[in-house]
Amino acid sequence: MTYNRAVAYTGNGGVTVKEIDFPELVLRDGPGVNPQNVGRKCEHGVILKVVSTNICGSDQHMVRGRTTAPEGLVLGHEITGEVIETGRDVEFVKKGDLVSVPFNIACGRCRNCIEGKTHICLHVNPDRPGSAYGYVDMGGWVGGQAEYVMVPYADFQVLKFPDKDEAMEKILDLTMLSDIFPTGFHGAYTAGVKMGSTVYVAGAGPVGLAAAHSAQLLGASVVIVGDLIEERLAQARSFGCETINISKHDDISEQIEQILGVPEVDAAVDCVGFEAHGHNHQEAPAAVLNDIMDATKAGGGLGIPGLYVTEDPGASDEDARRGSLKLDFGLGWAKAQSFATGQTPVMQYHHGLMMSILKGKADIAKAVNATVIRLEDAPRGYEEFDSGVAKKFVLDPHNLIRS
């Protein structure tokens, strides 16, 4: 078997679907592969037939040219698939298993992994702690927006669904377990959302909607979502959120007061990241962070799953190009607020969220408006996603998802 199609970055603001090598249990050289990882043997890994793989806002950052991603990089870190081959050292994962793959690549053997910090594994990326599939400067592990993909350290990493038929019935929800649902949940959880909390979520893209739904699952009394795009805000309202159109209101605290009677929330979540825009629609990388510090009470928590980078070639000023932002940090310090940042350690959450889905407690596909498209339609999906549509695009490489 040698045929394998995948979505690759074209280097000019777009993507293409092209034929690539069928995966092996070794990391071969290719676009973005760290030289120290070339030839790395993965007998601890498995080959998956991809059942579903999602387009993520983090992918979009690369496609827009806002990172140093190389041309030809195969994209995709949100992967669900069926095991079709296992490595010699794999003991507990079997052929035929249907599994969710955390977007973090983690060895399970280093100090950080043993402590549950799988988002900053020390062994999988020679450049820095932490790695992901199909992402710039993450070691070069081939992305999963493809028909087939190799997943290393399978016994440790993958989440097996208990019943394949049941899983396929809920595949649009379960496909969110690889990233978006745990990431949204992590943002709300680390912000300290609990029973009765009032919460502000900045950004009504898929992660923001996932964070809003997660805040509801955690018992929030009110979830307020802010965004510049009315279509996305309508999606947030569809499952019970209050909303603020940032383009129409300069003062977020004033709008919060109109909803809650007080100008502050207990907790806030930044689901926008470094491509944030201010109230005037001009790019302002620190705008959201400063807004949530202002809008969160003294002693409140700020969850920051939104992506921030160390290099942004498309930034408007030299500081932002180095990831140096003009924060009102003194305000956050004075208010004794807590901050939680970084990639989400998916494995801390994915089993519990899976059970919430299977037992009917979570309806994440509806919350993020999961929309299935064919693999060959990925370029259109990227274009539509970039325009701000209120959809989470799910690629179906083998036409296995029933509409």
Say if domain 5-179+345-396 classifies as CATH 3.30.390.50.
no
* Least confident among 60-69, 233-242, 276-285: 276-285
- Chain centroid to Cα 161, Å, comes to 20
pLDDT digits (tens, 9 = 90+) for 138-158: 999 999 999 999 999 999 999
What confidence category does residue 247 fall into, taking pLDDT thresholds of 50, 70 and 90?
confident
pTM value is 0.94
Across the range 312-338, mean pLDDT stands at: 81
Amino acid in position 90: V
pLDDT category, 398, cuts 50, 70, 90?
A: very high
- The domain ranges of the chain are 5-179+345-396, 181-340
Report pLDDT for 14: 92
Distance (Å, whole) CA 132 – CA 101: 11
| pLDDT surpasses 60 at 62 | yes
**Residue 267 confidence (pLDDT) above 70:** yes
149 membership: H or E segment, kind and range: strand 148-151
Kindly report, residue by residue over 202-230, the tens digit of the pLDDT: 999 999 999 999 999 999 999 999 999 99
The model's pLDDT over 4-59, given as tens digits with 9 standing for 90+, comes to: 999 999 987 899 999 999 999 999 999 999 999 999 999 999 999 999 999 999 89
CATH superfamily for 181-340 is NAD(P)-binding Rossmann-like Domain (3.40.50.720)
CA proximity to 224, closest of 253, 195, 201, 194: 201
pLDDT (average), residues 176-181: 98
Extended beta strands in 228-341, E state: 242-245, 265-270, 296-303, 338-340
Q: What confidence tier does 283 reach under pLDDT thresholds 50, 70, 90?
A: low
Closest C-alpha to 320, from 305, 332, 310: 310
C-alpha to C-alpha distance for 2 and 385, rounded to whole angstroms: 31
Nearest to 210 by CA among 231, 228, 189: 189
| Token pair 């978006």 in the structure block, residue | 180
How distant, in Å, are the alpha carbons of 14, 104, 148, 159 from that of 82? 29, 19, 9, 11
**Is the per-residue pLDDT at 315 higher than 70?**
no
pLDDT (0 to 100) of residue 374: 97
Q: Helices (DSSP H) in 64-205: which residue ranges?
A: 111-114, 154-157, 164-169, 171-174, 180-190
Q: Are 393 and 32 in contact (CB under 8 A)?
A: no
For position 183, what pLDDT does the model report? 97
pLDDT score of 403 more than 80: no
Q: Is the pLDDT of residue 308 over 90?
A: no
Q: Stretch 114-127: mean pLDDT, rounded? A: 97
Task: Look at residues 58, 350, 370, 51 and name the one whose alpha carbon lies nearest to residue 177.
Answer: 350
Q: pLDDT tens digit string along 88-116?
A: 999 999 999 999 999 999 999 999 999 99
pLDDT score, position 279: 59
